[in-house]
Amino acid sequence: MGATAVIGAQWGDEGKGKVIDLLAEQADYVVRFSGGNNAGHTVINHLGEFRLHLVPAGIFNAQTTCVIGNGVAIDPDVLIGELDQLDAAGIDTSRLLISDRAHIVFPYHRLLDNLEEARLDAQAIGTTRRGIGPAFTDKTARRGLRMGDLLDPDSLRGKLAGAMEYTNLVLQGVYNHQPLSTDDVYEQCRRWAERLSGLICQTELLINRALQERREVLLEGAQGTLLDLDFGTYPYVTSSHPGASSAYQGAGIGPIRIDRIVGVFKVYCTRVGGGSFPTELHDANGEHIREVAHEYGVTTGRPRRIGWFDAPMARLSNLVNGYTSVILTRLDVLDQLESIKICTGYRLGTQTLEFPPSSAADLAQCIPIYEELPGWREPTSDFRHVQDLPANARAYIARLEELIQAQVSMLSIGPRRDENIIVRPAL
């Protein structure tokens, strides 16, 4: 059997952590393949409530090996903090492995992220300020350091000196900031190596062997497709590729080793940070959803912006990822609404659009075309079979399925691992 990729289908925070924790019950491997600790994945299960930023959400299953793949940018301080927290909660973290090719997020990346957001001021991207953009910039500019570099202290010093020579030129020349000491950062690297060396290896070899042995491999996405560098709402995007193409690239497997590409959608939309959001709500419905669903960022605590389900964005998401099935989350959040809107297309001047335009200026001019469906006004969290759901809830789900043009494999009706309705196998 091939791998299953779980992809954020909107602007992130769709409930990937919950879904991975559940699916990991059947998985031998869970591999995080992209992003960094800009991600915040919530897991609520019999062991407690957890917010993960780097450790894969499969860590709660005793038989699952967890891998932070080559496509992830790792802030070792954050990773060590997360491991300490999990250890303190009695979770066995000895099954975690780290790709030697994964790039390192240094404190100077965090500093650069903060300085650049401050410089942009009103034009800021609204990043998580975790240094992820600058770390991926260094990766593509071929001056990044990788986790494997921590294993060789002698060559590490030279590589770090080279990277920091450039960084200090930028800090002083662009931001008028004092230069940083390479020695201090080198000492920090030595501490990271002491703690993490034993976990760093060529993880692509293990993952491919596992697939050959027909083991169950889950590929855990971070962020969402609408934050993708190419297909997201550029420039208000993250600096990596959250979609299916990263699932094989960021784990080091061939594309045809992936059998299932599962898109995770909320039944409405949220986004954190700047950028166009055509269906954004500035009314009592938006406030209601934010408070009922506690829509505040896991990583930064910022209130999430709320909007109706956006079919043009969902069509694009399916187009570029090719979902074999989709999971809809947070259905219960809409339980009390009298009526619910769905954006089925955009009006741009005299044109009607089925897909979002690529230009941010055009997107900002798009006016959503809505249809309105009646709400069901009944709690749904206790249902476990589709046929038991209120008819209006079933009609809403059927309409989303039609608009996304993919079959729903599962509905999530609460934050806990066991609050789900299995609709059909995730093909």
| Residues near Mg ion, by CB under 5 A | 13, 40, 298
Q: Which residue is nearest to ligand IMO (CB)?
A: 273
Q: Is 38 in the site for ligand IMO (CB under 6 A)?
A: yes
Q: Which stretch binds ligand GDP (CB under 6 A): 62-70, 154-162, 308-316, 406-414?
A: 406-414
Question: What sign has the CA pseudo-torsion 405, 407, 410, 413?
Answer: positive
Q: Which window, 62-70, 92-100, 121-129, 252-260, contacts ligand IMO (CB under 6 A)?
A: 121-129
Minimal CA–CA distance to 157: which of 185, 198, 195, 192?
185
The reply to whether 333 sits near ligand GDP by the rule CB under 6 A is yes
List of residues 6+ apart from 409 with CB closer than 8 A: 262, 325, 326, 327, 422, 423, 424, 425, 426, 427
From Mg ion, ligand IMO, ligand GDP, none, interface partner of 332 (C-beta below 5 to 8 A by class): ligand GDP
Nearest to 171 by CA among 126, 106, 111: 111
DSSP-assigned letters across all residues of 28-47: SEEEE-S--TT--EEEEETT
> In the set 102, 132, 258, 269, which binds ligand IMO (CB under 6 A)?
132
Of 11 and 236, which CB lies nearer to ligand GDP in the complex structure?
11
Q: Do residues 132 and 157 make contact, with C-beta atoms less than 8 angstroms apart?
A: no
Number of residues that bind ligand GDP (CB under 6 A): 22
The interface partner of residue 223, options being Mg ion, ligand IMO, ligand GDP, none and the CB cut-off 5 to 8 Å by kind, is: ligand IMO
Distance CA 320, CA 339 (A): 31
User: 44 to 83, contacts with ligand GDP by CB under 6 A?
Assistant: 44
Catalytic residue, candidates 21, 41, 53, 228: 41
| CA torsion through residues 303, 309, 313, 315, sign | positive
Q: Is 414 in the site for ligand IMO (CB under 6 A)?
A: no
Q: How far is CA 315 from the centre of its chain?
A: 19
Kindly tell me which residue out of 128, 246, 317, 409 binds ligand IMO, with binding defined by CB under 6 A: 128
- The answer to whether 332 is a known catalytic residue is no
Report phi then psi at 120, rounded to 5: -70, -25
Structure tokens at 21: 């924790």
Candidates 239, 246, 409, 420: give the one binding ligand IMO (CB under 6 A): 239
Residue 293 binds to ligand GDP (criterion: CB under 6 A): yes
4 binds, among ligand GDP, Mg ion, ligand IMO, none (CB under 5 to 8 A by kind): none
Q: How do strand 65-68 and strand 29-32 relate by DSSP bridges? A: parallel
Give CA–CA dist 296/249, Å, rounded.
31
C-beta closer to ligand IMO: residue 274 or 312: 274
Q: Are 259 and 3 in contact (CB under 8 A)?
A: yes
State yes or no: is 41 an active-site residue. yes
> Which of ligand IMO, ligand GDP, Mg ion, none binds 413 (CB below 5-8 Å, type-dependent)?
ligand GDP
Q: Which amino acids are annotated catalytic?
A: 13, 41
Interface ranges with ligand GDP (CB under 6 A): 8, 12-18, 40-42, 44, 293, 298, 329-330, 332-333, 412-415
